[in-house]
Amino acid sequence: GAVVSQHPSRVICKSGTSVKIECRSLDFQATTMFWYRQFPKQSLMLMATSNEGSKATYEQGVEKDKFLINHASLTLSTLTVTSAHPEDSSFYICSAWDAGIFHEQYFGPGTRLTVT
């Protein structure tokens, strides 16, 4: 099946710094990628939809100036958490949509962000 990778898998940063998370589709082109956040013992919450070559669409309550999304190519989307705070500590998961035959969404393995 299709593979989506995320990098890094785990990151610890200090308050006030910025962190970039990469999401790559490895064997298919993804015109659309999604970014989710998951807090402990909670379900996945969609943060934003990232479309290649255009601005991301953010869900209500998600600050677009804080969570910068760039989808510069058909295989790469990045999420940058700017001026991170401890409350941003979470598990961030991306998914890539394969609009081919199967119309499947494939999840990356996730990135555990800890802000100290």
Partner 1 sequence: EDKVVQSPLSLVVHEGDTVTLNCSYEVTNFRSLLWYKQEKKAPTFLFMLTSSGIEKKSGRLSSILDKKELFSILNITATQTGDSAVYLCAGTNNAGNMLTFGGGTRLMVKP
Token duo for residue 99: 């609009």
Name the one range near partner 1 by CB under 8 A: 12-20, 66-74, 80-88, 90-98.
90-98
Residue 97 in the binding site for partner 1 (CB under 8 A): yes
Residue 105 in the binding site for partner 1 (CB under 8 A): yes
Residue 34 in the binding site for partner 1 (CB under 8 A): yes
Q: How far is the CB of 81 from partner 1 (least distance, A)?
A: 18
Give the nearer residue to partner 1 in terms of CB position, either 9 or 17.
9
Q: How far is the CB of 15 from partner 1 (least distance, A)?
A: 26
Residue 26 in the binding site for partner 1 (CB under 8 A): no
What is the Cα–Cα distance from 5 to 22, expressed in whole angstroms?
A: 8
